[in-house]
A and B are shown apart, each in its own frame.
Chain A
Amino acid sequence: MADVDANRAAQREIYGEPLGDVVDRCKAVLGLTQGRVAGLLGISAPMLSQVMSAQRIKIGNPAAVQRLQVLVETTAEVATGDLGVEAAIARVEAAGHAGEALTGTARRSTARETAAAVQAVFRSVASATDHLAAADLVGERHPEIAELLRTYGAGRLDEAVEHVTRSGG
């Protein structure tokens, strides 16, 4: 059995306060579930639960520690009203990337991220109307290419996700 009191003291040394308190505050201020916090930090739900209950002292993954720092900072700004919840979460997500991750959240979003990235490429070179015009030009002879142009150049993200999923089989 882990010595929870000693571990909490050790967490206070390392992180300034016990991690259970830190994460509970972030959850309350930002209105997040514990599973969502684990996803944002890029660690598994059981690992987050272990460090929050001080069964373990440290989060081993340094990238997750970085994201936790950003989470704590942004939570403070949300608490004082200087930052919106959405913006806070976006900042945590942008802080160091979660690697080839891990949680169900990250896995489910893969097709979506891919679709968004491909759309970004298309839209960085031409406007939606240009893509539609180009699609009309090639549509007769190359309907699949026209579909690419419409979907990624002018379509909604959901359509692109659908296309990515479909082409990936």
Chain B
Amino acid sequence: MQVFAGRYQLVDVLGRGGMGDVWRVWDLRDGVYRAAKLQRQADSASLLRFVRESATRIDHPHVVAPTGWSAEDDTVLFAMPVVDGGSVAVLLADHGALPDTWVAVLGGQLLDALQAVHAAGLVHRDVKPANLLLEATGTGSPVLRLSDFGIAASPDEPRLTRVTEVLHTPGYSAPEARAGADPDPRQDLYSVGAVLTELLTGERPPATGSVSPPAGPFAPVLERLLAPHPDDRFPDAATAAVALSAVPVSEHGGEPVEVFSHLPDWPPGWGPSGPVPLAPPAPEAAKRAGPPRTTWAAAGLAVVGAILLAAAVVTGLR
């Protein structure tokens, strides 16, 4: 069984992406499972993003904070909590447009998270469904966790590389960000408007041009979030959250929205509370214990690996 940097025992692959794989690991020191992003030190720009992300620690119930990082040979690993319910992108794929009540709750949690991010002096810059992870709460009330601070930036810091400046996801990024403006928290508010519109319509925002919010109770809030000029948006996430919470929403009928667990089954030798002793290997068991990578990867779905989708999409842009 492979142990990384003497601390993280690799269990199975949760997802694969352009920048590296996300593994479920067993943290030998703390005795818990974590999700770990592994990356070979490919080039300075991607390493910079990686280190930046691992240094971003915002302690908030709706933010996924890295728990630590390690390096071994030419590979770096950074660990974070396992978030088991996939991403909002998966939720949209499964359910299409979401009921108003879900839009209000998810939007409120996202704005709370951004308030903490902005208070820490950062702009996330890549707010989109694939970066909004969910706890597997079933048909209960959702719990959103904002992730992937790979291209987060501070409005004050000097620009480190041009590379980080062009990384945006079309459709979700504010017009001024696309035009190369310096990071500004209100760019994240625009992205919130694009995401909430997608939650309401089930349609991805167009890669070019502007997002037009659907008519309905959310329209006034969405129009302000999506204002082309940052001065016309809400001044900050807190103000936007107050406005969103004042939108009257009605319950919907029909089947409940459900956030499934997207974690793969436990591989042999592992269980909910850590390593489990294997029975003396019968020939049958030995056969089944073959390389599990492909199977787990296929079952891995978005899970925490959704983080890496950002990297893949970004890869596609460059």
Is B72 in contact with chain A by the CB < 8 A criterion?
no
* A44 interfacial by beta-carbon distance below 8 Å: yes
B16 within 8 A of A: yes
Encoded as 1 (CB less than 8 Å from any A CB) or 0, chain B from 223 to 259 comes to 0000000000000000000000000000000110110
Q: Would you give the shortest CB distance from A82 to chain B, in whole angstroms?
A: 30
- B35 at the A/B interface (Cβ < 8 Å)? no
In the complex, which range does the number of interface residues on chain A fall in? 35 or more
CA distance A108 to B14 in the complex (A): 12
Assembly CA distance A146 to B312 (angstroms): 24
**A100-B309, A110-B312, A169-B42 known; A45+B89 contact, CB < 8 A:** no
Q: How many residues of B contact A (CB 8 A)?
A: 47
Q: Quick check: B315 and A61 within 8 Å, CB to CB? A: no
Any B CB within 8 A of the CB of A18: no
Least distance between B140 CB and chain A CB atoms (Å): 15
* Residue A81 lies at the interface, judged by CB distance under 8 Å to chain B: no
Q: Is B10 an interface residue (CB 8 A)?
A: no
> B93 contacts A35, CB within 8 Å?
no
In whole angstroms, how far apart are the Cα atoms of A107 and B309 in the complex? Answer: 6
- For the complex, is A105 an interface residue (Cβ under 8 Å from B)? yes
Interchain CA distance A30-B258 in the complex, whole Å = 29
Within 8 A of B (CB), among A44-69: 44-47, 50, 56-64
Residues of B within 8 A of A101 (CB): 89, 93
- B276 to chain A minimum Cβ distance, whole angstroms, is 24
Interchain CA distance A47-B94 in the complex, whole Å: 6
Q: Which residue of B94, B202, B302 is within 8 Å of A62 (Cβ)?
A: B202
Which residues in A have their C-beta under 8 angstroms from that of B305? 104, 107
Produce 1/0 per residue, A133-169, CB < 8 A to B: 0000000000000000000000000000000111111
- The answer to whether B314 touches A105 (Cβ under 8 A) is no
Choice from A58, A61, A114, A166 contacting B93 with Cβ under 8 Å: A61
Check if A102 is an interface residue, CB within 8 A of chain B: yes
Q: Does B130 count as interface, using CB distance less than 8 angstroms?
A: yes
Is A16 interfacial (CB-CB < 8 Å)? no
Q: Mark A106-143, 1 if CB is under 8 A from B, else 0.
A: 01101101100000000000000000000000000000
Which residue of the partner chain, among A99, A105, A164, A169, contacts B46 with CB atoms under 8 Å? A169
Is B298 positioned at the interface, with any CB of A under 8 Å from its CB? yes
Q: Complex formed: what's the CA distance from A110 to B310 in Å?
A: 10
Q: Indicate which residue in B18, B86, B257, B299 contacts A110 across the interface (CB closer than 8 Å).
A: B18
Nearest-CB residue, chain A, relative to B50? A169
Distance of A34 from chain B, by nearest CB (Å): 10
Q: Which residue of A lies closest to B203 (CB)?
A: A99
Assembly CA distance A63 to B92 (angstroms): 11
Across the interface, do A44 and B312 meet the contact criterion of CB distance under 8 Å? no
CB pair A46–B93 under 8 Å, yes or no, is no
Give the shortest distance, in Å, between A27 (CB) and chain B (any CB).
15
Q: Is B62 close to A, CB under 8 A?
A: no
Q: Which A residues are CB-close (under 8 A) to B260?
A: 44, 46-47, 50
Is B311 in the interface zone, CB < 8 Å from A? yes
Q: Which residues of A contact B46 (CB under 8 A)?
A: 168-169
Residues in B neighbouring A102, C-beta threshold 8 A: 89-90, 93, 301-302
Task: Identify which of A64, A104, A166 contacts B298 (C-beta below 8 A).
Answer: A104
B276-318 residues at the A interface, CB under 8 angstroms? 297-302, 305-306, 308-309, 311-316, 318
**Interface 1/0s, chain A 77-107, versus B by CB < 8 A?**
0000000000000000000001111111101
Beyond A45-B299, A50-B258, 5 additional contacts (C-beta under 8 Å) are A58-B255, A61-B96, A64-B96, A103-B301, A108-B16
Jot down 7 A-B pairs with beta carbons below 8 A, ordered by A.
A44-B302, A102-B90, A103-B302, A107-B309, A111-B312, A111-B316, A168-B311
Which 6 A-B pairs give the minimum distances between C-beta atoms? A168-B315, A169-B46, A46-B260, A60-B95, A110-B312, A102-B93
B interface, CB within 8 angstroms of A: 15-19, 42-43, 45-46, 49, 86, 89-90, 92-96, 128-130, 202, 204, 254-255, 257-258, 260-262, 297-302, 305-306, 308-309, 311-316, 318
